[in-house]
Structure 1
Amino acid sequence: MPVFMIERRYADELELTADDADGVNRINADEGVQWLYSFLSADKRKTYCLYEAPSAEAIRRAAARAGLPADVVVEMTGTVRPDGSLTPL
């Protein structure tokens, strides 16, 4: 399944509860999307999230349903290691 990085920008600091995350995961499942993990910026107003999804559009649909921003959605094709090696996803 394709892997995507999503940048989300929030107007206020992000405060996510376990119930909030559960709701997002249920919506994602409806759209065939799986949230792998997220990085939170120091000011708690941006996240960089890694997802598996059939398409960028599926991510955008899930985000809209969950009331989340999806400012930038980029498909990832591989990883680059510190030694310069490239590994396909």
Structure 2
Amino acid sequence: MPKYIIEREIPEAGQLSADEFTAISQKSCSVISEIGTSIQWLESYVTDNKIYCVYIAPNEDVVMEHANKGGFPANSIQQVRRIIDPTTAE
């Protein structure tokens, strides 16, 4: 199943509290349960003003459905075409 990187523009995301991240995570998981097993949240990276989320989903429409139902921005959705790391140089 394809993997996607979702860029979410959230002003001052890096300043959110632990309780706010808990609430956001609970909402995301709740929406995923509602949608079903066709989508999986792997992890997210928080920067000062954005959150980058990594999801597995059958297509971009399911990723957007999750964003819409959860009330999350999805400013950019990009399908991962390949993963490389230092071992790629070998």
With structure 2 as the length reference, what TM-score do the two structures score?
Answer: 0.78
* 2:58 match: 54
Cα distance in 2 between the residues matched to 1:83 and 1:40: 26
Displacement of 1:83: 4.1
| Greater relative CO (CA pairs within 8 A, separation 6+) | 2
Cα distance in 2 between the residues matched to 1:17 and 1:49: 13
Aligned residues: 82
Displacement of 1:8: 0.7
Identity in percent: 27
With structure 1 as the length reference, what TM-score do the two structures score?
Answer: 0.79
* 1:13 match: 12
Instruction: Name the structure where helix makes up a greater proportion of residues.
Output: 2
1:29 aligns with 2:28: no
Cα distance in 1 between the residues matched to 2:39 and 2:87: 32
Runs of 5+ in structure 2 lacking a partner? none
Instruction: Name the structure where strand makes up a greater proportion of residues.
Output: 1
Cα distance in 2 between the residues matched to 1:59 and 1:74: 10
Q: Which moved more, 1:47-56 or 1:19-28?
A: 19-28
Runs of 5+ in structure 1 lacking a partner? none
Q: Aligned Cα RMSD in Å? A: 1.6
* 1:72 match: 76
Which 4+ stretches in 1 moved above 6 angstroms?
A: none
Displacement of 1:24: 1.0
